[in-house]
Structure 1
């Protein structure tokens, strides 16, 4: 999983093997200020101008 963030606050999830777009997250908390994850984990922390989001990102291989 490749995770990218943009200034408009949206987070995009990409398949790291095919580089295909998978999903977009947007929590409407302003500009993105930070993005953190631990390799091998399905959880990410997203820091915004007006808040913090902790999200669990499940991929197809983790759903099986």
Structure 2
């Protein structure tokens, strides 16, 4: 998985280091995840494209087992 976390989140928002990654592990188990902090994400808000400063984006990628 890949996790892109807005720099406004994390310990600065929750006062707890690793808050977002702990939730990912709690609900998905031991899935390998890499990621980084970003300045913002671009996404839809109220029907228009906006810069989002408190978002986290998780992309899960799976290979086909043979």
Please state which structure has a larger fraction of its residues in strand.
Answer: 1
Please state which structure has a larger fraction of its residues in helix.
Answer: 2
TM-score (norm 2): 0.26
TM-score (norm 1): 0.26
Q: Which has the higher contact order (CA 8 A, sep 6+)?
A: 2
